[in-house]
Structure 1
Amino acid sequence: MATTTEPAIASVRDTIRVALRVVLPTLAGGVIKRRPLGLAAAQKLQLDRPAVQLLRRLRTRYGAGPLRLRVPGRSIDLALSGEDVAEVLAAAPVPFSPSTKEKRAALGHFQPHGVLISDATDRPPRRRFNEDVLEPGRPLHDLAVPFAAAIGEEAASLRQRGTLDWDTFNVAWWRLVRRITLGESAVDDDGLTDALARLRKDANWAYAHPRRDRLHDQFRTRLIGHLERAEPGSLAEAIASVGPSGERTMEVIADQVAHWLFAFDAAGIVTFRALALLATHPAALERAAEEVATADLTAPNQFPYLRACALESVRLWPTTPALLRESTAKTPWGPAGTTILIFTPFFHRDPERLSYADRFEPGIWLDGSAAANPALVPFSAGPAICPGRDLVLFCASTMLAHLIHGRRFELLAGAVLGPERPLPATLDNFHLKFAALT
């Protein structure tokens, strides 16, 4: 049942434990731009495991309602039940706004007009714009045909290799992202996404790092140049059909697209981890291979099972480990300005609530089990759910389909995975390496 009472108050010692075991490891891994060294250390130490264990103990000690952390000068509550997760995420943007102090400080480095950090006045038209272009709720986008062709061509370059590591995959993935988002002319524009990467690294530090206004202006100008070409078969073409309107200037539009590029980076991580899961789970790979074998890979497909594999990748290793909301008015959670922290690895890997917590179970996304659990939020939930979720799943599943078609992958390095043992709580995608076998 959703919370109707005041939050329990954590002790100073438990607040420090949350800071050390939940907050600091999350920040060290890079919230906006993943840090390879930080993620490698997190995998070696399996830092998400003690974080989940701590939150389970706190739920036992304080109850399943919200838990107020003792942070001087701030009102910060930790969600500990799936019902509370559902309540908070369903009530966006009022009274629980996605635009929090921390998020504004971080995302402001490269998308100051992004919908996630927009106020109550600007948010509705910006959200509509995102939905008009990205078409959430539709498994196949209007531009699915050219998108599928682009994925097939980029995947072909990867299929020529006997081994596949992250660096190789990431180059092809970013070529694909620029192609889908901006068109053929942007395929080789590494400078655009390199500039975004630098801004995102700054964003990891939020308000602790000064903003590089000049670099951001250069990035945005370069991005607008690609958008104004509105190349056929790209999201830029879809944007042109919507067009600027009122306050929706090209600068505002560019900031929405900057967020899409940012989100596509996480989608690449999800896809590569899903490949690792398929490579180490023969039964799942066999089912995926059967789905692909009957498909025409020259045309767009929905690939329900591969989509489920991608969703399981996000459940097991959330690419957004901390969902934040900020109250716009007094609520049972606290006064206006209260920050609510939802630590997704806790809800996605809680063995007390999930019999499959540490197993690869894509079937839960097909039989309704996941949909019935409000705490499983791979793309967030409620009115602020990721508007690009269906496009991301299309790209991830189609890339996986091309990679596994007529071949299998052996995981050579980076992790030990398999159906016989609990899956690791933390997985470093940067050091995974595969052998491609026919």
Structure 2
Amino acid sequence: MTSTREHRTHPEAASVAETLRVALEVALPTLAGGVIKRRPAMMAVAGKLQFDRRAVRLLRRLRDRHHGHPLKLRVPGRSVGLALSGADVKRLLAGAPTPFSPSTVEKRAALGHFQPHGVLISDAAERTARRRFTEAVLQPGRPLHELAAPFARAIAEEAAVLPQSATLDWDTFNVTWWCLVRRVVLGSAARDDTTLTDQLERLRLDANWAYAHPKRKQLREEFRRRLAEHLKRAEPGSLAAVIAAEDAADAPDQVAHWLFAFDAAGMATYRTLALLASHPAELERARSELDGLDLTEPHQLSYLRACVLDAVRLWPTTPMILRETTEETSWGPAGTTVLIFTPFFHRDPDLPYADRFEPDLWLDGRAAENPALVPFSAGPAICPGRDLVRFCASTMLANLLREHRYEQASGPVLSPERPLPATLDNFHLKLKPVG
């Protein structure tokens, strides 16, 4: 029986040729780039060949051919659906955790490498308590976290030591970003603990292979013990102090996910900086927002936050959102995997702003009218760290832009005069301070 709790959408059967095209032009490039930890070499190839552009064109043709109906892909031994309309995206994301669970077989296999008890892959019985804990610490819906003041000071201090005398590349920015992340999450005593995040990086690289790579249980336990020691210190002014007050037994697994997510936040911040470096009007508006502000104190910085949101729209840090049905629905039997390829919906050629930098759409209501724009997902499983991430990213950008202007030194041309690239390789993108 089809669930009465969701709209009766009826997938159309994809042909074998259509399924193969989706596998080769959508799924394979996404997997090759690294879904848990980006692979720089593959991202360089993806940037040069603009894989996402090809994927968007394919899905647009499929949407037109099938009149927006979802597709049931011909995957041997599996029931797999592909969303092709914004209405279906809205229903799928609103239907978490049942009948559309965020905990899919692929996610459980991948995230189990470093956070086997994380909320994202929890079953319904455990999810509620873990989600409640996560929201209590990260405080979604609150533009300024209760610890925004010490976080703002930490961001200002880290931005001040970021080398600015030569070309700014990803590696240089990333080192500073991780110093900041460790301070925000675990406290200043963890600032230089690169071993912790190096261990996490190795586990995440394994996680790219999901069930095709054996789990390194010893490394995972070493990482967990090291993380638990930082959390035990509960340093004031860090998330660890808030965590201590919540007393959650599986806190290390939740924190491991936050560290994982902050990696994507760093990519979004750096890409936003590149966009502002190449869009003079948007840069001047962002800098004017900083007039008279003491950046060692927290501020909402609405326009800079909108800039970050649009960078994530243009280049989603989660290109594939997965859901798994917990019961029979119109998508198929229980256990059906449903795919949402976010670059297609964010770069839909029918959108007038598809290929341009348009921060205002997050301020004037246009984004809210489009349920398929989901830079931080949506529905009950929406990213609980979205407001904290936007605060950290916008405050870092504010500190960098207050003191310097930048111009591109390498990478694809980002310009308001031409369509922005569909795939952007941040690893080989360089900026140059010019004053």
TM range, normalised to the smaller chain?
Answer: over 0.9
Choose which of 184, 194, 197 in structure 2 pairs with 1:190: 194
Name the residue aligned to 2:55: 51
The answer for unaligned runs of 5 or more in structure 2 is 1-5
- How far apart are residue 3 of structure 1 and its match? 4.8
Count of matched residue positions in the alignment of Structure 1 and Structure 2: 430
Name the residue aligned to 2:3: none
- How far apart are residue 407 of structure 1 and its match? 2.1
**What are the equivalent positions in structure 2 for 1:413-424 lying under 5 Å apart?**
413-424=410-421
The answer for unaligned runs of 5 or more in structure 1 is none
Q: CA RMSD in A?
A: 0.9
Name the residue aligned to 2:369: 372
TM-score, L = length of structure 2: 0.98
Asked if 1:384 is matched to 2:375, the reply is no
Asked if 1:412 is matched to 2:416, the reply is no
**What are the equivalent positions in structure 2 for 1:2-21 lying under 5 Å apart?**
3-21=7-25
Asked if 1:243 is matched to 2:247, the reply is yes
* Counterparts of 2:247 and 2:259, CA distance in 1: 19
CA contact (8 A) 2:164 2:433 kept: no
Letter in 2 for 1:67: L
Name the residue aligned to 1:166: 170
Of the structure 1 ranges 295-304 and 157-166, higher mean CA displacement relative to structure 2 is found in 157-166
Q: What's the CA shift string for 1:283-333, capped at 9, x where partnerless?
A: 000000100123221200110000000000100000000000000001111
**What are the equivalent positions in structure 2 for 1:289-328 lying under 5 Å apart?**
289-328=287-326
* Counterparts of 2:108 and 2:244, CA distance in 1: 28
CA contact (8 A) 1:159 1:403 kept: no
* Counterparts of 2:197 and 2:239, CA distance in 1: 16
Residue 122 of structure 1 aligns to a residue whose secondary structure is helix
CA contact (8 A) 2:104 2:337 kept: yes
Choose which of 277, 282, 304 in structure 1 pairs with 2:280: 282
Choose which of 142, 146, 149 in structure 2 pairs with 1:138: 142
Residue 315 of structure 1 aligns to a residue whose secondary structure is helix
Name the residue aligned to 2:336: 338
Asked if 1:148 is matched to 2:152, the reply is yes
* Counterparts of 1:406 and 1:74, CA distance in 2: 54
Name the residue aligned to 2:359: 362
Q: What's the CA shift string for 1:139-168, capped at 9, x where partnerless?
A: 000000000000000000126433211000
* Counterparts of 1:180 and 1:161, CA distance in 2: 26
Letter in 1 for 2:155: I
Name the residue aligned to 1:79: 83
Residue 331 of structure 1 aligns to a residue whose secondary structure is coil
Residue 49 of structure 1 aligns to a residue whose secondary structure is helix
Letter in 1 for 2:71: L
Name the residue aligned to 1:397: 394
CA contact (8 A) 1:162 1:437 kept: no
* Counterparts of 1:196 and 1:259, CA distance in 2: 10
Letter in 2 for 1:205: W
Q: What's the CA shift string for 1:83-137, capped at 9, x where partnerless?
A: 0000000010000000000000000000000000000000000000000000000
CA contact (8 A) 1:48 1:426 kept: yes
- How far apart are residue 65 of structure 1 and its match? 1.7
Name the residue aligned to 2:31: 27
Letter in 2 for 1:39: M
